[in-house]
Amino acid sequence: MNKMTNTSHGLIIFAILFLLVSAVGGFAQEPWRPITPAELQMTKPVVEPDADAEALIWEERLDDSQNNKITRSTYVRIKIFTERGRERFSKLDVAFIKGLAKIKDLTARVTQPDGKSVELTEDEIFNRDVAKTQRLKVQAKALAFPNLAPGVILEYQYTEVNEDIYGDNSTFDLQLDLPVQTLNFYYKPFRKREPQYTLLNVEGLKFEKAEDGFYRMTRTNVPAFRAEPWMPPDSEARPLLKLNPGWYASFSIDLTMRRSTVFKNTGGRSKETYWANYSAWQKYLVDVVNARKKDFAKLTREVVGDASTTEEKLKRIYEFCQTKINNTSFGYRPSEDESKKASERTRRWLTEDDFASGKPFASSAEIDTVFATMAAAAGLDPWYAQIGRRDVSFFTPELNDSRLLAGPVVCVVFGGSPHLYMPGNRFLKVGEVPWYFQGAVSMYTDGKQYGWWEVPMNTFEKNLTRRTGRFRLADDGTLEGTVVIELTGQPALSYRVAHYDEDDQGRASALKESVQKRITNAEITGISIENINDASKPLIQRFTIKVPQYAQRTGKRIFFQPGFFEYGTAPAFATSTRKYDMFFRYPWSEKDDIEIALPAGFSIDNAEAPKPVTDTGQLAHDEVTFDFATSAGKMLYSRKFYFGNKNLVTFKASSYAAMKTLWDKFHIADTALVSLKANE
């Protein structure tokens, strides 16, 4: 089952000046429900006094009773109170992945305060392409609500039919991004079972029997959920309902109570029956590898060659699997002839024979399996790891929920600790894993025994962004020059995974847009992006930029910010209080090297570099220095920044005041001004 929220579900709900919605399905379209006189006459919100709009009804139904599809339905009624509310909800865009689901019976209507309703016609609802990559095509059912104004009520309903019944776990928001008077969730389980579910970050809710085999869960007068900067994942903060298929027991927990729990190399946990059973289920993975290793014996000997250490053997096998197999999960599209030959094979997987006639193709999962198989053929003992994803939840074994683990990831134990290998990700160098696995708790197992292990986290030095600028400042305040940005570690990996399947124009447009979000009047040309497909080198972005009015001229003086890469940034934390914990993903560092040729006829007036900023625990450091080549008329700017020393990236909300103070000091240092004066 797919995750589904008012902002996103397994099918992705996109919203850019569009209403964010969720889709569930169940029945054919139902008649419009009567609107009460009280609803028509409402002039002020009930749940939040200053709300721009309020959902009077938000109802979702999930019918999981059939064995070949999941149907979902949504019925929503929203009252508009302000012009901001009118703008936010003027358009509805229900997006879906083509080929995986269908949106049916989408209807909408608008009701004026006098009770007159206008229902949109089929001609006013249209399909449009939202996004297209090599991996998927996203389309949308779209419409615009006519005559929307404060006082108006809008409604919509639709059905989604999804035949992908083995998708992600069904997780539903119990608090939306707008206030809701009545939030109903109906659920019809498979084979008339009792609902099995987990409540996250909310208490006191339960399902009650409703009509036609459904169960209902209700919340009333629910305020809007308001995200904060550097939020933990939804499962750690947002009230959620997580439906459990099969035999999972119901329980309700407050995840905030156990976030500090850490496990390191604890060895077997034989007393825990749940995880012992789960470990035993992984045995078939190791059995498959050992059964296939004879098919790679000769090739493995050739690849390993004279390597004598376990580490060097694994490195050679890893690089072979990553470079000698075309990866269909990362953009490779086999030719018609290749596909035909593959379909004629009597087996579904690769053997060493497939390498004799060229470069075979395979998915990421198969590439990982080939790696594990060759490791076994080399006399090593590959296990498998299942790992918590820190972008999903802060997993600990006490949760007894294997759905919070991701994998399998190949694991080889040597030198006293496990080592993870993911050659199926074409951008991961040997020994690397994505940031969301780093610092997470992992089970590693061969199906007969298992252990818990905290995956090591990269230090801030390895996640470095190096930024270089060579600029000339004109006497009218215009700044222009060239920029080079080098990404390494997790920033480079994240960029490659996000943009590898775009063409040069698409990547250039994305880079231009990211700069102009910070500097709206920037003129950017000459964009190039290097090493997108070569993870052994830094990811390099180059461009030329011109920024009119970068500096402000007042009489005989010019004021400007030499820290170009922080120009236009806002303080990281704007509010004086905070509700949720802070989560900074991973440690990182930045090094800025800027040279600015000053306008002729001007000299330095006031250019005192800010003092270094650090904290007593040496969690972070920000050091800005100024230097001047007076004879050449140039200013030299240097900035060295890091955050997350000692791998500290998660902080309690109770420490917000100190964290805000630290980041405010960073912002003040990074945006310090320099003044020039005209020579007499």
Residue 123's domain is classified under what CATH number? 2.60.40.3140
**pLDDT for residue 161:** 84
For residue 561 the two structure tokens come to: 């910010």
Last residue of some domain: 253, 286, 313?
A: 253
Same domain assignment for residues 519 and 641: yes
Last residue of some domain: 423, 454, 485?
A: 454
Q: Is 5 domain-assigned?
A: no
Same domain assignment for residues 446 and 470: no
Strands 171-173 and 240-243: antiparallel
Q: Helices then strands (H, E): number in the chain?
A: 12, 36
The CA-CA-CA angle for residues 458, 463, 466, to 5°, reads: 160
**pLDDT for residue 133:** 57
Residue 571's domain is classified under what CATH number? 2.60.120.1130
Q: Is 219 domain-assigned?
A: yes
Q: Is 173 domain-assigned?
A: yes
Q: Is 395 domain-assigned?
A: yes
For residue 175 the two structure tokens come to: 């608090």
Q: Is 26 domain-assigned?
A: no
Name the residue range of residue 81's domain: 37-253
Same domain assignment for residues 505 and 642: yes
State yes or no: cis peptide before 408, omega within 30 of 0.
yes
What CA dihedral angle connects 472, 475, 477 and 480, to 10 degrees? -20
Same domain assignment for residues 373 and 488: no
Number of domains in the chain: 3
Same domain assignment for residues 239 and 356: no
Report the SS3 class of residue 6.
coil
**pLDDT for residue 140:** 76
Same domain assignment for residues 478 and 439: no
Neighbours of 679 (CB within 10 A): 9
Same domain assignment for residues 198 and 330: no
Q: What is the CA radius of gyration of the chain?
A: 29
Same domain assignment for residues 535 and 594: yes
Neighbours of 51 (CB within 10 A): 20
Same domain assignment for residues 58 and 146: yes
Last residue of some domain: 222, 253, 284?
A: 253
Give the DSSP letter of residue 477: S
Query: Comparing C-alpha atoms, which of 212, 207, 120 is closest to residue 157?
Result: 120
Chunk the chain into consecutive blocks of 10 residues (it has 680) and report each block's average pLDDT, rounded to whole numbers. 33 31 42 95 96 97 85 94 95 76 88 94 81 65 89 94 63 95 94 88 95 96 96 94 58 32 33 80 92 94 96 97 95 88 77 89 95 96 96 90 91 93 96 96 94 95 98 97 98 96 94 96 97 96 98 94 97 96 97 97 91 94 94 93 96 97 97 94
**pLDDT for residue 160:** 87
**pLDDT for residue 166:** 54
Alpha-carbon distance values, 179 to 45, 77, 182, 532 (Å): 9, 12, 9, 43
**pLDDT for residue 123:** 85
Same domain assignment for residues 196 and 290: no
**pLDDT for residue 401:** 84
Q: What is the 3-state secondary structure (H, E, C) of 456-516?
A: CCCCHHHCEEEEEEEEEECCCCCEEEEEEEEECCHHHHHHHHHHCCCCHHHHHHHHHHHHH
**pLDDT for residue 196:** 86
CA atoms within 13 A on the CB side of 250: 12
Q: Is 18 domain-assigned?
A: no
**pLDDT for residue 267:** 36
**pLDDT for residue 164:** 63
Beta bridge partners of 583: 650
Same domain assignment for residues 98 and 246: yes
CA atoms within 13 A on the CB side of 621: 12
Return d(Cα 6, Cα 22) in angstroms, integer: 4
Residue 357's domain is classified under what CATH number? 3.10.620
**pLDDT for residue 433:** 96
Q: Is 259 domain-assigned?
A: no
Same domain assignment for residues 229 and 283: no
**pLDDT for residue 167:** 54
DSSP 357-407: TS--EE-HHHHHHHHHHHHHHTT--EEEEEEE-TTT----GGG--GGGEEE
Query: Comparing C-alpha atoms, which of 131, 158, 132, 153 is closest to residue 143?
Result: 158
Return d(Cα 440, Cα 455) in angstroms, integer: 6
**pLDDT for residue 343:** 79
Q: Is 622 domain-assigned?
A: yes
